[in-house]
Amino acid sequence: MNKLQLSMLCSNQILVIKTGMELTAQAKSFRASFKKMMGMRANATHIEVLAVIKQIYDDNNIGDEFLEKIKRHKAEHLLAQI
């Protein structure tokens, strides 16, 4: 997975949590592939997926980009749930 894919998945997860709407029609299958690739349960929640995405950002020393994305989407309240 490259940085662009991770960024788009992150944006999609924020959108889904906030509004219930997907960014694209392919987002569901991509998220399912991501969960499988990361060894997550198939029925993992959107918050759990976002927490794993945050961990990937942190592991690659770009956690500040994750926080910027959260702020840009006005979703700071999600940080308390992660």
For 9-65, the pLDDT digits (tens) are 999 999 999 999 999 999 999 999 999 999 999 999 999 999 999 999 999 999 999
Identify the pLDDT of residue 71: 97
pLDDT higher than 90, residue 1: no
- In whole angstroms, how far apart are CA 49 and each of 9, 14, 73? 9, 10, 17
Per the structure, the count of domains in the chain is 1
Whether pLDDT at 81 is above 90: yes
User: The domain containing residue 19 runs over which residues?
Assistant: 3-80
